[in-house]
């Protein structure tokens, strides 16, 4: 984890590290575990806004999953997933158009 990422998580209110007497941040085991959960959720494509909502529900039992979160949060995640699926479809169409263009352009050169 980069120091910059850790500071970003702190600025977003996702983690609250302790402080040593010299002012350095102190990351206890629970904060490190929380950072791993945050990274996993970010890698899955969830925005920080939704991660901030779900973290309190996962704090006590990281394996609780969907049982620990409210129905509204799950609807938000579903909407986010649907927006991603729509973007993927558009990008796939664009890639197919570029592939067709490149195929034609390469066919002309031969």
Q: pLDDT by residue (tens digit) across 95-106? A: 999 999 999 999
Residue 53 belongs to domain spanning = 1-66
pLDDT digits (tens, 9 = 90+) for 1-48: 899 999 999 999 999 999 999 999 999 999 999 999 999 989 988 889
Phi, psi (degrees; rounded to nearest 5) at 89: -60, -45
80, 47 contact by CB (below 8 A): yes
Question: Which pLDDT score, from 0 to 100, does residue 1 have?
Answer: 83
Are 55 and 7 in a shared domain? yes
How many domains is the chain partitioned into structurally?
A: 2
SS3 of residue 13 by DSSP = coil
CA dihedral angle for residue 93, residue 99, residue 105, residue 107, rounded to 10 degrees? -130
Question: Which pLDDT score, from 0 to 100, does residue 68 have?
Answer: 56
Question: Which pLDDT score, from 0 to 100, does residue 72 have?
Answer: 77
User: Which tokens is 51 given?
Assistant: 């991660």
Question: Which pLDDT score, from 0 to 100, does residue 65 have?
Answer: 53
pLDDT digits (tens, 9 = 90+) for 41-83: 899 888 898 898 888 876 655 555 555 567 777 888 898 899 9
Are 5 and 17 in a shared domain? yes
Are 43 and 85 in a shared domain? no
Are 58 and 81 in a shared domain? no
Are 20 and 59 in a shared domain? yes
């Amino acid at each position: 984890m980069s120091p910059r990422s850790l500071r970003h998580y702190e600025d977003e209110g996702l983690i609250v590290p302790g402080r040593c007497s010299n002012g350095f941040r102190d990351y206890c085991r629970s904060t490190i575990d929380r950072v791993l959960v945050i990274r996993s959720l970010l890698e899955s494509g969830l925005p920080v806004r939704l991660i901030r909502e779900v973290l309190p529900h996962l704090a006590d039992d990281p394996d609780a999953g969907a049982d620990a979160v409210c129905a509204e949060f799950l609807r938000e995640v579903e909407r986010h997933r649907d927006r991603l699926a729509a973007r993927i479809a558009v990008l796939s169409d664009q890639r197919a158009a570029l592939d067709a263009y490149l195929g034609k352009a390469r066919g002309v050169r031969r």
